[in-house]
Amino acid sequence: MTHEIPKIAIVGSPNVGKSVTFGCLTGRYVTVSNYPGTTVEVARGHAKIGGVNYEVIDTPGLYSIFPATEEERVALNLLCETRPDIVIHVIDAKNLERMLPLTFQLKKLGLNLILVLNMLDEAQALGQTINTSKLSDELGIPVIATVAITKQGTDQLQDAIQKQHEDGIRTHEHHPVPQFSEIMMRRWYGRAREIAGRVLIKTERSRVFSRFDRALVHPATGIPILAAVMYFFLYKFVGEFGAGTVVDICETGFEDHINPWITKIADSYVPWEVIKELIVGEYGIITLGIRYAVAIILPIVGLFFLAFAIIEDSGYLPRLALLLDSSFKKIGLSGRAIIPMVLGLGCDTMATMVTRTLPTRRERFIATMLLTLCIPCSAQIGVILGLLSTTPNVLLIWLVIIFGIFAFVGAVSARLLPGTRPSFVMEIPPMRLPQWKNVLTKTFARMEWYFKEIVPLFMIASVLIWLLKVTRAFDMVTRWIATPLAAMGLPASAAKAFIFGFFRRDYGAAGLYDLHKSGAFTNNQLLVAVVVLTLFLPCITQFLITIKERGWKIGLAISIFVLGFAFSSGVILNIILSAMNISL
Amino acid sequence: MILSESAEEMLEALWLEYEANKRTDCVLSKLRESPDARTLKELSDAGIIVCKNPDHASVTEKGLAEARDAIRRHRLAERLLTDVLSVKGELMHDTACQFEHHLHKGIDVSVCTLLGHPKVCPHGKPIPPGRCCEEESKTVKPAVSPLSSLKPGDLGQIAYLYTADPKRAQMLISMGVIPGADVKLLAGFPSFLFELGESQFAIDGDVAREIYVRRNSAA
């Protein structure tokens, strides 16, 4: 045995519960949802089993060792490069026959396997009984049945790992990934069918395709359901309740209690005016940076993630993909792209990572561009809904404009970009009742991630603005921005919001929130400012992720295009409004 | 009856003539292919044609049936080559000419059934129906048709994938869409939703037209 700690990799088809199994072994939470492609990156954790420390690696879903998408490639590369000592192949117990071919393929790569039949409860509910010991004999590898979500079977899995380890991890010869061949695949499926025939007893047939399932995917009923989901979750819950009520409470609390308190402390302990300005001034780290992050952005994002987690875990999103596939084809995407798009309404950075699940470069490019340009993240939506709640006209026009630009830019890029029409193939998991524990854990995990992302950024923004102020460069920057602002018909005071917007567009929107409260805008100006900031670059993190995922050339090109597009839209909108003499 | 390749080519030419003019008499030198003496002898010995003079012949009733079968084999071969093996253009015609000779009794029925008893060749010319096609139209026997032509609730078994893009076939096969698997169509609009084992898959119309299913009669 080498000094390196042994590695366990968890692999399997999408949406079979790899991440839950990972959680069972390591106690670490990684996002778990009810749709294929939740995990797009490798996650690592540690587990101590039978006194031995292991590194446990969770991988994105993999249908076969012949990858079709980026995230499948991530999983396969891990297997080939890291060469884990033990590989846990998790399968959906109710689909034994369809899932076993991957076991054969993994065996062919010379990996040391343990087979986990997860979701045994669902298989049992369908009247299936699986003889696991017989299956183990047939395959020549340990087979463990689990219900990972309730931790059932974890002990047995740990025992199996321990036994595998004690038996001395056999160093199989690693075989390279063979060429794809239909004949080979047919042979594997044939064997899977034979083995399933011997170990599986079925009494009843299949899950029913209920009226409800049908209603979700038929346009006549599906579109109204989608509208209702958007209205209640996004508008009522995140917008009215979150950005209205909750933010009000948090803001008032912050301004009435924390700001005066911290200002008092600063007044009595910090003798230098300049430093005081940095901490509690107009753009102070606490009075502005932390206040925006904690009192405005976080409650909205938190509520969005909560609503989103419920939707995700129910299994609604893949059905939405099916419903909207034909519409998405018109903008060069397939229904699969609905998942990054909806996720983008939560956070564009996360969504940009998830574009990996799209099969072609063309789709990944279009999706990234549309996310960067016109999918506002939850923080921004919340702030905008709060900002425009008193002027429903402006809100409606904003919605129409952004939707129009989304459709227009998508349709144009679908036409201009070379490449073939995307095709749509997606596994649709059963609808499941969201588990409160997972919903809450996921919401908090995402809030924590988000908080860690934004707080440093907000603080850096405060420091930079403070530096600009101290060096008097702030006025200069304001003057530079004043010209394009004037072209959009906006007052010079809006410069502040746009400077913020360069850090994060929701930060910019939050800046508008303050400005609007002080009555700086007419409704026309408000519309222009909101539209431009919606189209703005999402944030520095998203920019970096775009570069990481798409390469710096495309990343930079998208950013320049988006900036130019945002400003020109503002100018054109202003011209139209004044030419037609519209006053909202 | 086993005839030489050139005799089979002649049979096809005779059928084309009959198809165009609805007459059994023909001028041999005006056919698509004019026969050499050996082929002519083979055809008349087999009782397919009766030669009136060196350039005029009349096709017998038996001959007409043989000609019909020959053209049927040729056009089925063309369908097989384009639909299943995606052979294109010039190559398709040449290959079909050789291929058809292997489609004798029995095999042509299997190919016809596999293809779902097609009515026309890739050029739009009619394929004369065989007995298998007539039986098919009387009783709804298992036939192969694209998944897109099924109705919600229909059951079937995947017969083959015919995709223009090999990557897509690889992806579908990896997901379990493999010949022999049982499927049930759940919804056909706005996109297609089908059940395979205990899972459901959503695909668009383009993909649904590439998955050929042998329909089960009990729907």
Grade residue A33 by pLDDT with cuts at 50, 70 and 90.
confident
* Beta strand segments in B129-209, E: 144-146, 155-161, 182-187, 192-196, 199-203
Contact A193 B172 (CB under 8 A): no
User: Which pLDDT belongs to residue A206?
Assistant: 59
How many CA atoms lie within 13 Å of A308's alpha carbon, on the beta-carbon side? 26
Better pLDDT: A347 or B83? A347
The reported pLDDT for the residue numbered B110 is: 81
Question: How high is the pLDDT of residue B219?
Answer: 41
Six-digit token string for A505: 């567009």
Do A66 and B170 count as a contact with CB atoms less than 8 A apart? yes
Which range (A25-39, B129-143, B193-207) has the least confidence?
Answer: B129-143
Look-up of token digits 């007539």: B134
Beta bridge partners of B49: B59
pLDDT-based confidence at residue B105 (cuts at 50, 70, 90): low
Residues linked to residue B27 through DSSP beta bridges, in sequence order? B56
Per-residue confidence band for A502, with pLDDT thresholds at 50, 70 and 90: confident
3-state secondary structure at position A281: coil
- What is the reported pLDDT for A1? 45
pLDDT in tens, A532-554: 999 998 888 889 889 988 999 99
A322 CB neighbours in chain B (<8 A) are: 190-191, 193, 202
B31 near A CB under 8 A: no
The structure tokens listed for A489 are 């018909």
Q: Which of A59, A74, A38 is nearest to A442 (CA)?
A: A38
For residues A493 and A526, give the distance between their C-alpha atoms in angstroms, rounded to a whole number.
Answer: 13
Task: Give residues with Cβ within 8 angstroms of B208, minimum separation 6.
Answer: B146, B147, B148, B192
> Which one of B170, B179, B195 has the shortest CB-CB distance to A68?
B170
Q: How far apart are the C-alpha atoms of B118 and A537, rounded to whole Å?
A: 55
Q: Kindly report the CA angle at A155 between A152 and A161, in degrees rounded to 5?
A: 125
Per-residue pLDDT tens digits for A226-269: 999 989 988 889 888 988 889 889 988 988 888 888 888 888 88
Q: Do B187 and A214 touch (CB under 8 A)?
A: yes
- Of the listed ranges A187-201, A351-365, A397-411, B1-15, the least confidently predicted one is B1-15
pLDDT for A172? 63
Mean of pLDDT over chain A = 89
- Between A157-166, A262-271, A361-370, B119-128, the lowest mean confidence (pLDDT) is in B119-128
pLDDT digits (tens, 9 = 90+) for A262-303: 888 888 888 888 888 888 887 888 888 888 888 888 888 899
Q: What is the Cα Rg of chain A in Å?
A: 27
pLDDT tops 90 at residue B45: no
In terms of pLDDT, which residue wins out, B141 or A40?
A40
Task: State the pairing for strand pair B56-59/B49-53.
Answer: antiparallel
Contact residues, chain A, for B163 at CB < 8 Å: none
- For A98, the closest of B170, B176, B203 (CB atoms) is B176
Nearest-angstrom CA–CA distance, B161 and B159: 7
Residues of B in contact with A359 (CB under 8 A): 171
Q: What is the mean pLDDT of residues B178-190?
A: 90
B173 inside 8 A of chain A by CB: yes
Of B174, B196, B201, the CB nearest to A66: B174
Residue B139 confidence (pLDDT) = 58
Instruction: Return the pLDDT at A501.
Output: 85
Per-residue pLDDT of A363-397, as tens digits, reads 999 999 999 999 998 888 888 888 888 888 999 99
